[in-house]
Structure 1
Amino acid sequence: MTVTDAGGRTVRDATLDVLRKLGLTTVFSNPSHSEMKLFENWLEGEFRFVMGLQEAAVVGMADGYAQATGEPALVIINGGPGLANAMGSVYTAASAKTPMVILGGQQARKMLLGEPFLVAKDATQLPKPYIKWAGEPARPQDVPAMIAQAYQIARQAPQGPVFVSVPEDDWVRPADPEPLRVARVERAVVPDPAALDRIAAALDGAERPGLIAGGPVDAQGARADLIALAEKLNARVWGAPVWNRGAFPEDHPLFAGVLPPIPELINERLAAQHDVVVVLGGPAFTLFTAWDLFSTAPADLDRSPRPTLTADVEFLHVTDDPQAAAATLADRAFIAPPGAVVKGLVPLVRQRPRAELTPVREPVAVPEASSPLTQAYLFHLLSKELPDDAVLFEELPIARADFHEQIPLGAGNGYFATASGALGFPFAGAVGYALARPDRRAVVVVGEGSAQYTLHSLWTAARHNLPVTYVIPDNAGYLSLKYYLQDQKSWEAGYDLSGVDMAQIARGFGVRGERIDSPEGLRAALRDALHADGPVLLDVVVDDPGLFRL
């Protein structure tokens, strides 16, 4: 039964009008019964429905789609257990500052006094603190206006996911008779000219300036400007720790590598090279652990200070996130759009003489074929076959050093990785990206352990015949955990993944899969997979890479 007003318009009808006006016409969903009234008489052709088999994969796909388009993506899932399933992916989207509107189905209003099936208890609290904002309308007719408000909040800096809980029966209630006027909230924040002058003066006064590139530089369209700025300053550029989006080409001679997320190593590398460092986008800094925690010796009473940056370097931090600025380890922070700051600095800084800088990275050896295969050899061959405009999605907790050494991504390549410690984004994110940009090949390089978190997205890739190539360096374990402990053998049950055949799993979801365990034919298989019509997965058996390198 559908309840309408005299004009026949329901909250559902009014909401679909708002979604059209906002451009939210691609829907990522794994719905439950509490959302089904929204899909009644679904408007095929006007709206694209992208089905995912599990909510974590659905949110991950929406994350990749939003990062490709630069605009909020729309997710519709159950607001209770469905959202709980997705929380790892929500956590990652929040860490990446991905704009996203999540509609969570709630039980009918009249049922909420009891304990109904699939109820979302304290619905707006469940996704906190990993969202920017959450709301549940006080009246059914307020649903469209609340979605429009959520959209505007998601897309304003710092961007991020938002959540709206919608009771099931709201969709069929009468709409407000007055059509909703959807405002366009323009992003008009610009850097303070005085702040730009201060940053430019610090860079010009430095003997050895350095730049640290965060993902927002690329997200805000300033990647080419960062190249121009670095070349004008003749300054090294480092990738920010936990680099989740490529903001500078890795094959550029001024690229110094990705900083490790450990304060002692950050200080060691930067103090040796720079007297002034400007952090452009992202926090300063995302840290993973401290050096002393690698020790397996008995621990002393903790009298250590909180992480600090070396006093030998002046650190300036540019971010559009006030909370990141408040928590900065830098000497001075500027709250401004990092992309606009980069663009504004290019004409302000003085042109320095071009001089070759002393290399900070060791020459990378060319790996050779072996049996068993090494991941370094796999990545070396992949780099030889990689299309110039391919977009890489990487999640390799144990193998990131080999990846960046053997695959120096160029100016035409995109790069995305997990912004948080939660696993699963690249496997699903590449699917969302390919839906938005089917003109570019998305290449997923993910270990077989990380792949388990969102492997359901394979089905969506097959259903839409997307140009996604999955390359799995399969070392049969969660090896990022293995090397934390001295007694590794007794912990084997906690990292051993032997018996997982990713090629068979892929075929079960409708994706062509091939398992490779020798160097013969590997390069040809990579070439074919990178130019195939539709998705392909290569499960490449590799040797244990040993202790990870930073």
Structure 2
Amino acid sequence: MTEEASASRTVREATLDVLRELGLTTVFSNPSHTEMKLFEYWPEDEFRFVMGLQEASVVGMADGYAQATGEPSLVLINGGPGLGNAMGSVYTAASAHTPMVILGGQQARKMLLGEPFLVAKDATQLPKPYIKWAGEPARPQDIPGMIAQAYHIARQAPQGPVFVAVPEDDWIRPAGPEPVRVASVESAVVPDPAVLARIAEALNGAERPGLIAGPTVDAQGARGALVALAEKLNARVWGSPVWPRSSFPENHPLFAGVLPPIPELINERLAAQHDVVVVLGAPAFTLFTAWDLFSTNPADPDQSARPALPESVRFLHVTDNPEAAAATLAGQSFVAPPGAVVEGLVPLVTQHERVALTPVREPVPVPEASEPLSQAYLFHLLSQELPEDAVLFEELPIARADFHEQIPLGADNGYFATASGALGFPFAGAVGYALARPDVRTVVVVGEGSAQYTLHSLWTAARHNLPVTFVIPDNAGYLSLKYYLQDQKSWQKGYDLSGVDMAQLARGFGVRGERIEKPEGLRAALKDALTADGPVLLDVVVADPGLFRL
């Protein structure tokens, strides 16, 4: 590069070079005025621009894309109200440890003295604490290097979203005199052989070993190794509570089910089955509530102890998250990459006798057609029509038990759900996943209540003609809220969603939508929707499933 060319280069041009080098060439965005200077003379032949109609959907789509590729995704939104709109999805991405670089537009530097339109006050503080790292450049020419730094922080374990605030006018300022050097940062962390030996010794000495599969095992590519480890030990495998990603096939005979996020029920299941349990790639444990909070009796002063695990079971915990290790309920915790630990344990454990274990799950009855339709019947038919390699995204706060019972996912199926209590990820995440993996059928099973949070992603699915099938078990209510209260009738205004027609909404965004209220034609509609060229939404009216089951 000549001295004259170097002097004329802008921050925008230098940043695009860095993004190319990092492979961040797919941009998820709902741009505002504060980002427009980046898009001048946009090199559309090199960068794919994915438009979303609302920032929560944009971040949700980027989340699904990153989980599909295993690499950070790139988001560009306004850093003030735009980021505010997106915070529920940022919260979920942080809970899922999704690597993501979010660029937030800020007002021009010379206007920050007052309170200009679209300003991001304390820009780096807004996304905290649900962000791994946040930066705001002191000088315009620092932006390309700061983005490279943010990218590497997002990729490092434990992975997570990062944020860089960029003033609008910085894009057109002169870049630094030298090109930004993008370092190569590779993970070189491996498990301590002594730690592997200790865990293997505990498993080899156990009479009734158990394994708990967390999402990081699959994220680090060790799902097959976990199957080999479980089969060699003849050990039951449980899904970690609030299972956001499948790390073990649910149709495998050693799969025991997903643990409930309630300490008393976790203890009941594990103490009855195991003397040694190893938690792999998940917190020990993610908890949602305690059993005493289901009572409607007057509450006494809380003098109860923190939740604890049964002393009759030895718990060992493997995580790459130091904070999760510090907060563990297990007796021993090891900070190490769970995928590598699983792979390292396979040759170290001894072959246990392959005997059939006593079933811990009740036989699942085959549901029958009815009017109104039951959600169990819907899921049963869906399971029969699913492509063998279909990837499923699920958000069913009231219906998860029916979903997992009727759709036992196999080794070739991917499974993703929200890692947090914030609704909306699967509806948008599936669209992002399909953008990265258009070669497989992505199936979304989400209630009509959860769908409202990122409904706008339907438009993006239609615009890119993505192979996504949206299946809505429509029970006309936020029923996860209904059954918390004893006096349901007086609370009806808080959960009643009657009058929402998801098929009509889908058609308004350009997605083919069909509303189904009777069993006749349901199988044919599912078969067609799962093989269609482009996105299809089926709004299937189902009966109230009643009190949720854990």
TM-score where L is the length of structure 1: 0.99
The CA deviation at 1:494 is: 0.1
- CA contact 1:5–1:175 (8 Å) conserved in 2: no
> What does residue 462 of structure 1 align with?
462
> Is 1:192 aligned to residue 204 of structure 2?
no
From the superposition, tell whether residues 233 and 6 of structure 1 become closer, same or farther in structure 2 (CA, over 3 Å): closer
1:483 counterpart letter in structure 2 = Y
Counterparts of 1:285 and 1:518, CA distance in 2: 41
Instruction: List per-residue Cα deviations over 1:421-476 (Å, max 9, x = no partner).
Output: 00000000000000000001000000000000000000000000000000000000
Instruction: List per-residue Cα deviations over 1:113-136 (Å, max 9, x = no partner).
Output: 000000000000000000110000
> What does residue 475 of structure 2 align with?
475
* SS of aligned partner of 1:278: strand
Counterparts of 1:507 and 1:376, CA distance in 2: 26
Question: What is the alpha-carbon root mean square deviation over aligned residues?
Answer: 0.7
The CA deviation at 1:295 is: 1.1
Aligned ranges for residues 23-172 of structure 1 at < 5 Å? 23-172=23-172
* SS of aligned partner of 1:429: helix
The CA deviation at 1:7 is: 3.5
- CA contact 1:199–1:316 (8 Å) conserved in 2: yes
> Is 1:309 aligned to residue 323 of structure 2?
no
Instruction: List per-residue Cα deviations over 1:389-448 (Å, max 9, x = no partner).
Output: 000000000000000000000001000000000000000000000000000100000000
Instruction: List per-residue Cα deviations over 1:247-285 (Å, max 9, x = no partner).
Output: 000000000000000000000000000000000001100
Which region of structure 1 is more displaced relative to structure 2, 298-307 or 310-319? 298-307
From the superposition, tell whether residues 544 and 146 of structure 1 become closer, same or farther in structure 2 (CA, over 3 Å): same
The CA deviation at 1:317 is: 0.4
* SS of aligned partner of 2:237: strand
Counterparts of 1:23 and 1:134, CA distance in 2: 21
Aligned ranges for residues 70-469 of structure 1 at < 5 Å? 70-469=70-469
**What is the total number of aligned residue pairs between the two structures?**
547
The CA deviation at 1:299 is: 1.3
- CA contact 1:25–1:48 (8 Å) conserved in 2: yes
- CA contact 1:208–1:274 (8 Å) conserved in 2: yes
The CA deviation at 1:6 is: 6.4
From the superposition, tell whether residues 148 and 490 of structure 1 become closer, same or farther in structure 2 (CA, over 3 Å): same
* SS of aligned partner of 1:216: helix
Counterparts of 2:115 and 2:293, CA distance in 1: 45
Counterparts of 2:8 and 2:439, CA distance in 1: 42
1:53 counterpart letter in structure 2 = L
Instruction: List per-residue Cα deviations over 1:171-202 (Å, max 9, x = no partner).
Output: 00000011111001001100000000000000
- CA contact 1:461–1:468 (8 Å) conserved in 2: yes
> What does residue 14 of structure 1 align with?
14
- CA contact 2:239–2:258 (8 Å) conserved in 1: yes
The CA deviation at 1:306 is: 1.0
The CA deviation at 1:8 is: 2.0
Percent identity of equivalent pairs: 86
> What does residue 499 of structure 1 align with?
499
Counterparts of 2:395 and 2:349, CA distance in 1: 36
Which region of structure 1 is more displaced relative to structure 2, 301-310 or 464-473? 301-310
2:400 counterpart letter in structure 1 = R
- CA contact 2:367–2:380 (8 Å) conserved in 1: yes
2:430 counterpart letter in structure 1 = A
- CA contact 2:6–2:177 (8 Å) conserved in 1: no
Instruction: List per-residue Cα deviations over 1:345-382 (Å, max 9, x = no partner).
Output: 00000001100000000000000000000000000000
4+ long deviations beyond 6 Å: none
Instruction: List per-residue Cα deviations over 1:14-68 (Å, max 9, x = no partner).
Output: 0000000000000000000000000000001100000000000000000000000
Counterparts of 2:190 and 2:36, CA distance in 1: 43
Counterparts of 1:301 and 1:538, CA distance in 2: 49
Instruction: List per-residue Cα deviations over 1:208-239 (Å, max 9, x = no partner).
Output: 00000000000000000000000000000000
- CA contact 1:5–1:174 (8 Å) conserved in 2: no
TM-score where L is the length of structure 2: 0.99
Counterparts of 1:185 and 1:442, CA distance in 2: 32
> Structure 2: any 5+ residue segments left out of the alignment?
none
- CA contact 1:443–1:468 (8 Å) conserved in 2: yes
* SS of aligned partner of 1:249: coil
* SS of aligned partner of 2:273: coil
